[in-house]
Structure 1
Amino acid sequence: MLVVVTEPLAPITLPPAQDATAEGQWLCAALQDWLDHEFIPEAVNSDIARRVAQIYERQRLEGETDVGCLLLAILLEMRGFDFSQSFFSEFAVANAVSELLLRQLGIP
């Protein structure tokens, strides 16, 4: 069954950053854990998680609260990352970040 949405979806927003560094550290650890458990632990997973956390932290310091905008920034900036040693891509990583953030907000 095809469902047609006629109203735009409301954005999902995070509260303003109180400590963007702590948020970045949490995301780095959570993402690396997700990457390591999704397939197999790889050395490159820590590089991916650190880079994503840097992008996320910078965006939060700039005042970004919209989850969609955060994910787009991560997706676009991770396009320049060398994923050749990984099972993942920038799309898989951005989707994982989305899942982690929504879970953190209590949205299943």
Structure 2
Amino acid sequence: MSFQFHNRLYQLRGYGRGYRLRGARITVCEAFDGTLTLLHQGKVLDYSILQEGERPIPLDDEKSVHHTVDQARILQAQRPQWKPAPDHPWRRYPSPTSSPEPSP
């Protein structure tokens, strides 16, 4: 049996063919130093770490988000504005919001 906790994959060891704890609830106790104790019906379970996951990306606080947005605005303001030429193909067609010219 295996389970995931804090972005790590753990496997329980020494339990026959692995079906004994299928669907069972396990209590995970984490000490202040980071060590884990796994309990099932009051008994301590032996385990091993199968895979270390990637550390999660830290969330940005409001101050850093505002700084990022301000930097993006500055970069956008520095870029030259592109304006299509008067003979550009899409300028030949009337815009959908323009009113049709009155017919004589």
- How high is the TM-score relative to the length of structure 1? 0.26
More strand by share: 2
- How high is the TM-score relative to the length of structure 2? 0.27
Question: Which structure would you say has the larger Rg?
Answer: 2
User: Greater RCO between the two (CA within 8 Å, min separation 6)?
Assistant: 1
